[in-house]
Structure 1
Amino acid sequence: MADVFADLVGQDDAVATLRAAAAAAAELIAATDPTGTEPGAVEPAGAGPGTGAMTHAWIFTGPPGSGRSVAARALAAALQCAYGTGCGNCAGCHTTLTGTHADVRFVVPEGLSIGVGEMRALVLRAASTPSGGRWQVLVIEDADRLTEAASNALLKAIEEPPPRTVFLLCAPSTHPDDISVTIRSRCRLVPLRQPPAAAVAAVLTGRDQVAPEVAGWAAAAAQGHVGRARRLARDPDARQRRDAVLAVPRRLTGVGACFDAASALIDAAEAEAAAAVADADAAEKAALQTALGAGGTGKGAAGAARGSAGQLKDLERRQKSRATRAQRDALDRALVDLAGFYRDVLTVSMGAPVAPVHTDTEPLARAAAGKWTPEGTLRRLEAVLACRTAIETNVKPRIAVEAMMLALWKG
């Protein structure tokens, strides 16, 4: 089995940094007493962010698909590795990567934000002494979704870290909109880049046994996103949804067509999101109802049923938030594909010596380049990017997409 860093595609500099941190952490463990309980014996925070190979708080940044969460999980596994290397074979590595390690907690928000109550509970648990592993590790895969109050709760823990606790945060960037400046100043930064298409294609052919020509196409179309490239290569439904999105520019023949295209795009995102969360929603509801004694008879059953209404309502609220997040993620994937098409048109117009994102729509891009001015193409690309920004700032998706479609039609 490959080591824990094998899934970090095209990130050689980051992998070198994380390997050095894991080795330094292992030396810190070896330097303490056998029980690891001597106060202050192991305190990676002492060196401060960026001044040593190991520190107590890290931020992984990079574009979607760059492997932010993969890098955080890999470092968490390496910190718990029995050999201090992230071998990928020991119990510490295996249980961390599978999400079952008792001393590693993952925050993977399904809704639109991470609240202060959840963060306080996680910080409190992370402050305890490791029960069986070498470190207590808290991995927050979407730290940009922390509310202001949740950020403040996390900041206090990072400012006064327990000696055996490590915080691993993932965010798109270090911009204040993504992560607070005060948290950023106390963390070591690991920037990740978009993996080259050739590296992603090599992973698909070598690990997933995808045909080389399909792997090359999927890697380019996914714009370096390994997970999306794998879905495009293996899932016919994903390819069909992508084809529908790339057909949008040809459909914009008038105002009515713009609104029809917007409705189709929104409906497709809603359907994809509903399918993605349906099984999880049903399983969660059934499990909660069983736990609350649904179907039970005898003394107390009626009272228990009345008392379960609030918990069921809370579950429905969380599921609705997850569905909204899934819909926005599906819509964002569609917008990224659409932006890739207009980027291809612009590179053809300018004669740029770069490979196209969508190799299968290259003839359409060339035809559009002959019809539109470079300025008009750039305005269309900016309209797609503006739509993404609007949705991120909680503009209603239908309103944002309708405005985008009209802008694309007008040029």
Structure 2
Amino acid sequence: MTVWDRLVGQRHTIDSLRKAVAGHGMNHSWLFTGPPGSGRSNAAVAFAAALQCEQGGCGECHACHTVLNDSHADVAVIRTQKLSIGVDEVRELVRRAALSPMGERWQILVVEDADRLTEQACNALLKAIEEPTDRTVWMLCAPTVEDVLPTIRSRCRLVTLSTPTAAEVEEFLVGQGAEATSAAYAARASQSHIGRARALAFDDAVRARRQDVVAIPARLRSLASCMTAATRLAEVTRAEADEITTALDAKEKADLDASYGVVEKGRRPKEYAPALRELEKNQKTRAKRRHLDMVDRGLMDLISVYRDAIALQTGAESELVNAEVRADVAEIARASTPELNLRRIGWIFAAREQMLEFNVPVALALESMMVSLKVPESAHV
């Protein structure tokens, strides 16, 4: 299995990157763009592995394994858990970019979520991209080219990924060991979002939480049910976020204690308190972002229900994303119009913007949204 097998439905991209590895069209700065779930960061890491591999990405050698496992000495990947990537993080990467690689090939720096770079961070990064060393390669990942400053993207070679088809995602999941029925469901329910599909195919708890979310629209028949649904969605997404962050927080705290000798010495050096405060601040920021990410995922699942209702109402010849709750979708379609469901989708996006862009409290935004989505009184049986 080569490193390119990690990329689902990206044949054109793979061909282009393989040519670059072979020396045709190689560049010192790259911008990987594509919709959520298209695998843009996977493409960047696979490209990095291929550049470090003597065979162009065999997937079996030491170089490939270390890059794919984030342990290669000459490949740095910055994955922020914060709401933004600050200038201090970028300056450290710029410092590293100026060094010669320890091996005989490339010094590679991959920045996931480059759209989260602050203005200062962008300015620090720009100079490094403008004047790269001979053996340094920058790889930036962002949803669209518009999410990156024009001065930066103009210096990068663009790699555009597309959303794979459900059939391609299903085939990939089966290759990863998923049962055929689980793979088919996951590919459809994730709307070809590869990371989400993998979680749905292999994690029963993730599937149960999604089923809970897509059942919400049919229940919104009173003000009380709207408040209950908002509370439930906030709690479910918080629990999912906590599952991810709690263990990581504990490990980081243990590592901090060990680095300051708190465990062995039984005392706390004066430098420990400010370090602990900084750690707790970063963990709080990360927890907030993770919760918002989970809420955002839930909102996309809600949108898929109303999209299915519109498909039924307009007779669109496409498979329902939520075929397992077809009866609920049919009832929503019967009790509404396509225009109303389009407005409902707009209200969900408005709530999303309130939380992600304007920092409106999650509970408040969700309560307002659920009330807007409520089934009209005239439609009650």
How high is the TM-score relative to the length of structure 2? 0.95
Instruction: Give per-residue Cα distances to partners, 1:86-118, cap 9 Å, x unaligned.
Output: 111222212111111111100000111111011
Name the SS for the 2:15 alignment partner: helix
Q: How many residues align?
A: 375
C-alpha displacement of 1:403: 2.3
Who is 1:35 aligned against? Answer: none
Who is 1:30 aligned against? Answer: none
Partner residue of 1:164 out of 135, 151, 159: 135
1:205 is aligned to 2:174: yes
The code of the aligned residue for 1:61 comes to T
1:21 is aligned to 2:20: yes
Matches of 2:165 and 2:104, distance apart in 1:
36
The code of the aligned residue for 2:205 comes to D
Matches of 2:331 and 2:108, distance apart in 1:
53
C-alpha displacement of 1:263: 1.5
The code of the aligned residue for 1:190 comes to V
Q: Is the 8 A contact 2:215 2:325 kept in 1?
A: no
Who is 2:379 aligned against? Answer: none
Instruction: Give per-residue Cα distances to partners, 1:260-302, cap 9 Å, x unaligned.
Output: 21111112111111121111111110121122121445xxx75
Who is 1:219 aligned against? Answer: 187
1:76 is aligned to 2:75: no
Partner residue of 1:90 out of 48, 51, 61: 61
Who is 2:107 aligned against? Answer: 136
Partner residue of 1:382 out of 346, 361, 365: 346
After superposition, the CA RMSD in angstroms is 1.5
Instruction: Give per-residue Cα distances to partners, 1:151-175, cap 9 Å, x unaligned.
Output: 1111111111111111101101112
1:338 is aligned to 2:307: no
How high is the TM-score relative to the length of structure 1? 0.88
C-alpha displacement of 1:410: 6.3
C-alpha displacement of 1:335: 0.9
Q: Is the 8 A contact 1:341 1:358 kept in 2?
A: yes
Q: Is the 8 A contact 1:92 1:133 kept in 2?
A: no
Q: Is the 8 A contact 1:217 1:359 kept in 2?
A: no
The code of the aligned residue for 2:202 comes to R
Who is 1:403 aligned against? Answer: 368
The code of the aligned residue for 2:50 comes to A
Matches of 1:296 and 1:13, distance apart in 2:
55
Trace 1:107-122 onto structure 2 (pairs within 5 A).
Answer: 107-122=78-93
C-alpha displacement of 1:54: 1.1
Trace 1:9-408 onto structure 2 (pairs within 5 A).
Answer: 9-24=8-23, 53-83=25-55, 85-175=56-146, 178-208=147-177, 210-297=178-265, 304-396=268-360, 397-408=362-373
C-alpha displacement of 1:399: 2.6
Instruction: Give per-residue Cα distances to partners, 1:175-218, cap 9 Å, x unaligned.
Output: 2xx2111111111111111110001111111222x222221111
Name the SS for the 1:5 alignment partner: helix
Name the SS for the 2:277 alignment partner: helix
Q: Is the 8 A contact 1:115 1:147 kept in 2?
A: yes
C-alpha displacement of 1:256: 2.8
The code of the aligned residue for 2:372 comes to A
Unpaired segments of 5 or more residues in structure 2? 377-381
The code of the aligned residue for 1:403 comes to S
Q: Is the 8 A contact 2:221 2:375 kept in 1?
A: no
The code of the aligned residue for 2:247 comes to D
The code of the aligned residue for 2:26 comes to M
The code of the aligned residue for 1:54 comes to M
> CA 1:296 to 1:201, structure 2 compared with 1: closer, same or farther past 3 Å?
closer
Q: Is the 8 A contact 1:76 1:137 kept in 2?
A: yes
The code of the aligned residue for 1:407 comes to S
Name the SS for the 1:306 alignment partner: coil
Matches of 2:342 and 2:253, distance apart in 1:
47
Q: Is the 8 A contact 2:218 2:328 kept in 1?
A: no
> CA 1:232 to 1:295, structure 2 compared with 1: closer, same or farther past 3 Å?
closer
The code of the aligned residue for 2:84 comes to S
Matches of 1:336 and 1:286, distance apart in 2:
36
Matches of 1:355 and 1:250, distance apart in 2:
20
The code of the aligned residue for 2:161 comes to L
